[in-house]
Amino acid sequence: MNSLRKFLLSLEFAFAGLAAVCAQGTLSDGSKWHWNKGTIEIETPQRPAGQQSALNLATPKLKVVRVGFVGLGMRGVPAVERWTHIPGVQIVALCDYNKASAEKCQEYLKKASMPEAAIYSGDTGYVDLCKRPDIDIVYIATDWLHHVPVAKCAMENGKHAAIEVPSAMDMKDIWDLINLSERTRKHCMLLENCIYDWYEMNTLNMAQHGVFGEIMHVSGAYRHCLSPFWDIYWKKDANDKLGWRLDYNMKHRGDVYATHGLGPVAQLLNIHRGDRMKTLVAMDTKSYTGKQLVKERTGKDVDFRNGDFTTTLIRTENGKMIDINHDVMNPQPYSRMYQLVGSKGFANKYPNEGYALTSADLKAYGITPSRDNLSNHDYLPEADVKALEAKFYHPILKKYGELAKEVGGHGGMDFVEDSRLVYCLQNGLPLDIDVYDLAEWCCLAELGALSMDNNSAPVAVPDFTRGHWNELKGYSHAYASPEDEAAAEKAAKEFTAGMKAGGEKFLKKYWKTETQKNKKAAKKAK
């Protein structure tokens, strides 16, 4: 009997070991994953020899930011127009698959009295653009699948890359961008505009001053019915009945557009600046609306991989919790959620915008409450909200807010984003969003799919900083000294005025002079 028991036990262990081996797999980047006590763990690739962290990366000041735009569709065209309003910017080149789309953007330059830009088009037009020696940054607003190829080409050719969201769709692309940014010492910024919305910026300022106490739980989302847009998205030819975005949702699972919801709340929790995302669990509904959309356009029943509604729960190293939703299929009021729960207060943007604090909390920050019995069980009255927002009106909004409302772009937040990017480049400062933010905010796509495909199992989130997540203590925006900021602004305005008045002749003389100055400075430095 003892021999039989031993035999059966040996079989049990053998099958358990076999199951463990079979349950392993690989991700898009070739990284292996395995089970560890019920959690899926992914190998983190080692940092290549000689490569350094890009945390808090600052690059040499650019008196003038020379930009090339790639992808001139729904997001690229407004971006070109916005950049004509920023002093110290030269729009050097415009690129789109369709040449006519690029040429049409010349109208914005003409209207702004700026010289024409060089035009590039076709499958590989961006390659020639990236090779130009007179471009500092490439602004990428293509379809999702072309984000990474263009960004890699930009950095490989010595350019900074600014990429529309979501910047990378899988782990291979994420690690490629991290490694390139670290190796080339070039910025790789995710263009997440929602962190620059007024409510989000002011709330972040309040949080950083301790108004809400210890923040324990945050929520974000992208709930936006795209039914008016499905037929507008770029199609590669007459046989393409879906357009690139619907096609992507059909073929891929997970939260494929997490950054609008995750970005602002990640800043509240100081992700990779004292805390990090540790574990996620994701699940989705079945696809109903998605399948119907494809059937309407193709007449075919398909296996629509992404669920109509996606939820991802994330636990951080410091025991905080993040809740992220995605639904672009079903009818509903627009919502990015944006909610925080703290030990002293509460903030919420959708569907009811407001704050919950006590009278004592307001008094602690020098605000006279409308009454002495205000409770954090209810939203603050309008008068108290206005007083709170006035007290913590974000310095970046003080600088760019009014002009941003005039220029536009999702209520002005796009222009604030663009202006901050140029400001940081002109002053040689770390950007507001770095390549590790890009990685963390985009990883919910493939890691969420991995969780969903394994019965919503927990997935350990890699430390994309590879050991540096706790070096910085708290998220912060970088600012130049008042003297340096004034000097940069003066130089930027002088350049723009000269360019608009003198055109190409001015540009040739200006860059010839700058080249001579740089050569003299380099010679002196030796």
Distances (CA, A) of 404 to 8, 23, 141, 261, 407: 72, 52, 20, 22, 5
CA distance 248 to 516: 49
CA distance 318 to 279: 11
pLDDT score of 15: 40
Kindly report whether the peptide bond that precedes residue 395 is cis, defined as omega within 30 degrees of 0: no
- pLDDT class of 3 with cuts at 50, 70, 90: low
* pLDDT tens readout for residues 117-173: 999 999 999 999 999 999 999 999 999 999 999 999 999 999 999 999 999 999 999
* pLDDT tens readout for residues 332-380: 999 999 999 999 999 999 999 999 999 999 999 999 999 999 999 999 9
Kindly report whether the peptide bond that precedes residue 331 is cis, defined as omega within 30 degrees of 0: no
- pLDDT class of 411 with cuts at 50, 70, 90: very high
Residue 225 CB contacts under 8 Å (≥ 6 apart), including other chains: 328, 329, 330, 331, 332, 334
Inter-residue contact 329 to 222 (CB < 8 Å): no
| Sign of the CA dihedral running 452, 454, 457, 459 | negative
Say how many CA atoms lie within 13 Å of 301 toward its Cβ: 1
pLDDT of 492 over the 60 cut:
yes
pLDDT score of 29: 73
pLDDT score of 75: 96
Q: Which of 272, 257, 261, 379 is closest to 306 using CA atoms? A: 257
Distance of alpha carbon 467 from the chain centroid: 22
pLDDT score of 7: 46
Q: Which of 75, 71, 74 is closest to 94 using CA atoms? A: 71
pLDDT score of 520: 86
Average pLDDT over residues 489-517: 97
Percent of the chain exceeding pLDDT 90 equals 92
- pLDDT class of 27 with cuts at 50, 70, 90: confident
pLDDT of 1 over the 50 cut:
no
* pLDDT tens readout for residues 219-250: 999 999 999 999 999 998 999 999 999 999 99
Distances (CA, A) of 424 to 198, 208, 288, 397, 485: 20, 21, 45, 15, 10
pLDDT of 4 over the 70 cut:
no
Find residue 323's DSSP bridge partners: 219, 313
* pLDDT tens readout for residues 69-122: 999 999 999 999 999 999 999 999 999 999 999 999 999 999 999 999 999 999
Inter-residue contact 417 to 190 (CB < 8 Å): no
pLDDT score of 425: 98
Average pLDDT over residues 2-24: 46
**Range with the poorest average pLDDT among 3-17, 47-61, 337-351:** 3-17
CA distance 171 to 30: 9
pLDDT of 20 over the 60 cut:
no
Inter-residue contact 395 to 370 (CB < 8 Å): no
Distance of alpha carbon 448 from the chain centroid: 17
Distances (CA, A) of 366 to 361, 389, 391: 9, 13, 9
* pLDDT tens readout for residues 299-342: 999 999 999 999 999 999 999 999 999 999 999 999 999 999 99
Distances (CA, A) of 214 to 298, 365, 391: 51, 16, 20
Find residue 70's DSSP bridge partners: 95, 140
pLDDT score of 523: 81
- Size of the chain in residues: 526
Q: Which of 473, 211, 440, 165 is closest to 340 using CA atoms? A: 211
pLDDT score of 17: 41
Q: Is 520 exposed, middle or buried (0-12, 13-18, 19+ CB in 10 A)?
A: exposed
Inter-residue contact 351 to 335 (CB < 8 Å): yes
Domains of the chain: 60-186+480-526 (3.40.50.720), 195-394+434-460 (3.30.360.10)
- Mean pLDDT for the chain overall: 94
pLDDT of 522 over the 90 cut:
no
Tokens representing 303 are: 């296996």
pLDDT score of 14: 43
Q: Is 286 exposed, middle or buried (0-12, 13-18, 19+ CB in 10 A)?
A: exposed
pLDDT score of 324: 98
160: phi then psi, degrees, rounded to nearest 5: -70, 155
Average pLDDT over residues 489-502: 98
- pLDDT class of 23 with cuts at 50, 70, 90: low
CA distance 97 to 108: 19
Average pLDDT over residues 482-501: 98
Inter-residue contact 103 to 35 (CB < 8 Å): no
* pLDDT tens readout for residues 457-466: 999 999 999 9
Amino acid at 41: E
* Tally of CB atoms within 10 A around 52: 11
Average pLDDT over residues 487-498: 98
pLDDT score of 5: 54
Residue 457 CB contacts under 8 Å (≥ 6 apart), including other chains: 38, 39, 40, 281, 451
Compute and round to an integer the Cα radius of gyration of the chain: 25
